[in-house]
A and B are shown apart, each in its own frame.
Chain A
Amino acid sequence: MALQLDSAMVKTGAVKGIRITLELAKIVVPTTILVALLRGSGVLESMSVACAPLMKLFGLSGDAAIVLISGYFVNLYAATASILALGLAPREIAVLAIMLGFAHSLLVEVVVSRRAGSPVSVILPLRVGVSLLSGMIFGRLM
């Protein structure tokens, strides 16, 4: 039961990690620039006002809509990048973390699920449904 550990494993892992980090940079940097541009141009504010009634269901500010959208459609790296760019309150970050835990990277992951034998018609409503429901519950509780 002794753990096997050698430098080759550490090296392989580190190389993978660096490769993924470079991939992430391609998502994270454009996301934060986009959020900064949206904010600078005033578009973020109008989006925020438009989304505010919906986001209120989850006890979130209108701004948080962009975090949900980037998480659902892109991935959690884009979502966390938006969180950093928006500077949200810890309570909002916690609610978003719960909601996005259930549903994220949907375009990619639903395809993986389908190939693993679960139809999109089951998995997509399940994930989005549980995500929205958890938002309504925890948005009120927290």
Chain B
Amino acid sequence: MSVLWEGLVQGLLGVWTLARVVIPLMIVLEIAAANRILERVNRWTVPLFRLVGLSEAGAFPVVVATFFGLTFGSGVIISYIEEGRVSPREVRILGVFMALSHALVEDTALFLAVGAPIAVLLIPRLTAAFVCCWGLHRFLIWKNAGTVNADAVNS
């Protein structure tokens, strides 16, 4: 019985720990969305994403995933891609980026709450995402070298 009790108390304390992260986070994200912050970040980061072969349109789902995560952002991300605003080539690249690095606000806040340092949360994910996407981008250029491909011209 004392074991169950201990688990319950720990669980409720855990919920409180996480609530202190999640509730302020959702308020911040709501303000960000209302101010179209994502569109601004998308525009500012154009030169950065161009390095890995993503245009402004191709980087938008990545920006959404970065701030909102794959679950909360899924509606926007999936419909944006289904509308055909991003080329198939870019869909492959952004898919890799999003898979490795997303929900950087939520996941980071969550692990900060249990005591992990912020640097280990952000740097490895962003670095791995950029390196893998750069590799894929170069690979796709190499694969298409010599063949006529409108896609490789990229926007």
A53 within 8 A of B: no
Taking a contact as CB atoms under 8 Å apart, the answer to whether B15 and A29 are in contact is yes
B145 within 8 A of A: no
Known: A17-B24, A33-B7, A76-B110. A24 touches B116 (CB 8 A): no
> Count the A-B residue pairs with Cβ separation under 8 angstroms: how many?
190
Taking a contact as CB atoms under 8 Å apart, the answer to whether B71 and A105 are in contact is yes
Please give, as numbers and ranges, the residues of chain A lying within 8 Å of B92 by CB-CB distance: 117-118
A127 to B129, CA, bound (A): 10
Main secondary structure of the interface of B (DSSP, over half): helix
Taking a contact as CB atoms under 8 Å apart, the answer to whether A30 and B128 are in contact is no
Could you say which interface size class chain A belongs to?
35 or more
**Mask: chain A, 72-86; 1 = CB below 8 Å from B; 0 = not:** 000011001101110
**Shortest beta-carbon distance from B89 to chain A in Å:** 11
Could you say which interface size class chain B belongs to?
35 or more
**Shortest beta-carbon distance from B149 to chain A in Å:** 18
Main secondary structure of the interface of A (DSSP, over half): helix
Taking a contact as CB atoms under 8 Å apart, the answer to whether B7 and A34 are in contact is yes
Known: A97-B116, A98-B120, A116-B78. A126 touches B100 (CB 8 A): yes
A54 within 8 A of B: no
Chain B residues close to A by CB (< 8 Å): 3-4, 6-8, 10-15, 17-19, 22-31, 34-35, 61, 70-71, 74, 77-78, 81, 88, 91-92, 94-96, 98-100, 107, 110-111, 113-117, 120-121, 124-125, 128, 132
